[in-house]
Amino acid sequence: MSTKVQPITSQPSTAEKATTLSNEEILRYSRHLIMPEVGMEGQLKLKNAKALLIGTGGLGAPLGLYLAAAGVGHLGLVDFDVVDFTNLQRQVTFGSDDVGKPKTAAAQARLSNLNPDIHIETFETKLTSDNALELFKNFDIIVDGTDNFPTRYLVNDACILLGKPNVYGSIFRFEGQVTVFGMRDGPCYRCLYPEPPPPGLVPSCAEGGVLGVLPGIVGSIQAMETIKLILGTGESLKGRLLLFDALAMKFRELKLRKNHSCPMCGDHPTITKLIDYYEFCGVRGEEAPGPDVQVPEITPRDLKSRLDRGDDLFILDVREPHEFQICNLNGHLIPLGELPRRVHELDSSREIVAHCRSGKRSAEAVDFLRKAGFRKILNLKGGILAWSDEVDPSVPKY
Amino acid sequence: MSVKVIIPTPLRVYAGKADSIDVSAKTVGEALGQLTSKFGDLRKHLFTEEGKLRSFVNVYVNDEDIRYLSKENTPTKDGDTISIVPSIAGGLP
């Protein structure tokens, strides 16, 4: 895994600040220029601004599009991932023929087409403590569109150490949060959340799902805040946490105070360099979505063999009803959250195989049942996804 | 004092899918106590085993963080809204 910073640029970089707009630029940005809040002066500020987008996914898509459209002169895109088919539900910079391509390259192509006049630098790399400071230092504003706690703390800390604003946005299912950290007398991420949740306690997007348009809205708000900061206009979200509930269509605002005892940005900071964020977040070794509960397992192939042999196995499905509708193994459905209340539906004298989508929730179910005294219980390793891969490809994956 | 407690999305599954509940409480601590009495599964997500509020969960009365008020002793009055705001990280996948 390379962590070395290797930018791939689309337009030659100019070290000098631009002081004029070409006739073509004036025409392109006419709708900006006719507003006194922007004008020539504002457009030049945008042209000379350098914004680094961490993540070119759900949030990064509207961010990249709107910042490019607005004429932010220098955009950096950081992402190590490739476009996946499941991304197209919300990552609107990409098209169907981008599947399999590196996200930074696909995004760069799209954004350059939208605005060939701006300079787009791509960093197809994972952001780490080794490269963050080097990467950030050449940019004015950092926009956090990442998807995991270790990186959020890393982005925060690097911004505080370098004195750069951090336009923060995060989402979960149909809720979003937006604010601006890293301003001189404003709070930082650690003021709000001094510690991350232990892994597995807060479901990730991949487990929880997300309404595709939600990052579109939240990312657009981040783009708006970025543009306002560049122009120096309006009131930024510094010191305010904007909460958005898409289902209720309600915006709320909470006050975010700078914690003067904050170890990162307080009056007497104790953190003066980047740390190991995976360790901080309790995720050891590889990036793990959650702690692995050690329980007895059965592989899909072995399960199939035993069922074919006529073994009397009770299949327990701990997914949600709407998942059962997508595909199922004809199991007895007790969603994980309901298991404690419905454990009487299970016969501990029978051999039970528990499954879910990928094997994580069912591992928790097996752990719970073993602690409740069940002795003949196995977890289907890899869940129904692995069943589809190894036994029956006609079972759809989701 | 009739107070509304707003339950954030990641925790709704532990609260019978409710997005808010109304409780009668004089302080934030009382309100959260009633919430976790009604929904026992919520307790471990909000509190440590020693009964302290978890540090990745923030609680607000109206728009003020209780850490800057009187924490769990922050008094509540009729019509106040208590918001539970856990950290969420989704953005990319």
Question: Band of the pLDDT at B1, cuts 50, 70, 90?
Answer: confident
**What number of H helices and E strands is found in chain B?**
3, 5
How many angstroms separate the CA of residue A116 from the nearest CA in chain B?
A: 25
Give me the interface pTM, i.e. the ipTM. Answer: 0.87
pTM: 0.81
Rounded-to-integer distance, Cα A358 and Cα A306, Å: 20
Helices (H), chain A: 23-28, 30-33, 39-48, 60-70, 103-114, 132-136, 149-162, 189-192, 205-208, 213-231, 277-280, 300-309, 321-326, 339-342, 360-371, 383-390
Q: Does the CB of A252 have a partner CB in chain B at under 8 Å?
A: yes
Question: Which candidate from B64, B85, B91 shows the least CB-CB separation from A146?
Answer: B91
Q: What is the pLDDT of residue A3?
A: 44
Q: Does the CB of B86 have a partner CB in chain A at under 8 Å?
A: yes
Q: Does the CB of A280 have a partner CB in chain B at under 8 Å?
A: no
Question: Which candidate from A170, A192, A254 shows the least CB-CB separation from B90?
Answer: A170
Q: What is the pLDDT of residue A15?
A: 60
Taking residues A113-121, report their average pLDDT.
Answer: 97
The side-by-side arrangement of strands in the sheet containing A166-172 is A8-9, A119-123, A74-78, A50-54, A141-144, A166-172, A175-181, A240-245, A250-255
Residue in A205, A262, A265, A327 annotated catalytic: A205
Q: Nearest Cα to A250, choosing from A170, A179, A175?
A: A175
Rounded-to-integer distance, Cα A293 and Cα A395, Å: 26
Q: Does the CB of B85 have a partner CB in chain A at under 8 Å?
A: yes
Q: Which two tokens stand for residue B31?
A: 């309100």
Whether the pLDDT of residue B93 is over 90: the answer is no
Cβ distance A334 to A342 under 8 Å? yes
Q: What is the pLDDT of residue A284?
A: 46
Taking residues B32-55, report their average pLDDT.
Answer: 87
Q: Does the CB of B8 have a partner CB in chain A at under 8 Å?
A: yes
Instruction: Test B89 with A206 for CB contact under 8 angstroms.
Output: no
Nearest residue of B to residue A152, measured between CA atoms? B89
Cβ distance A44 to A198 under 8 Å? no
Instruction: Test A58 with B54 for CB contact under 8 angstroms.
Output: no
Nearest residue of B to residue A197, measured between CA atoms? B56
Question: Which candidate from B10, B55, B85 shows the least CB-CB separation from A195?
Answer: B55
Whether the pLDDT of residue A345 is over 70: the answer is yes
Residue A193: list chain B partners with CB under 8 A: 55-56, 58, 87
Q: Does the CB of A148 have a partner CB in chain B at under 8 Å?
A: yes
Choice among A8-12, A307-311, A324-328, B37-41 with the minimum mean pLDDT: A8-12
Rounded-to-integer distance, Cα B90 and Cα B93, Å: 7
Query: Pick the residue with more confidence: A283 or A16?
Result: A16
- The answer to whether domain B2-86 has CATH 3.10.20.30 is yes
All structural domains of chain B with their residue ranges: 2-86
Question: Which candidate from A177, A192, A206 shows the least CB-CB separation from B93?
Answer: A206
Domains and CATH numbers, chain A: 8-280 (3.40.50.720), 297-390 (3.40.250.10)
Cβ distance A341 to A366 under 8 Å? no
Q: Does the CB of A256 have a partner CB in chain B at under 8 Å?
A: yes
How many angstroms separate the CA of residue B75 from the nearest CA in chain A?
A: 18
Question: Which candidate from A171, A195, A197 shows the least CB-CB separation from B90?
Answer: A171
DSSP secondary structure letter of residue A10:
S
Q: What is the pLDDT of residue A172?
A: 83
Taking residues A152-164, report their average pLDDT.
Answer: 96
Q: Which two tokens stand for residue A160?
A: 């505080």
Q: Give the rounded distance of the alpha carbon of A1 from its chain centre.
A: 20
Taking residues B33-45, report their average pLDDT.
Answer: 88
Residue B65: list chain A partners with CB under 8 A: 254-257
Identity of residue A201: L
Q: What is the pLDDT of residue A210?
A: 84
- A356 catalytic? Reply is yes
Q: Does the CB of A116 have a partner CB in chain B at under 8 Å?
A: no
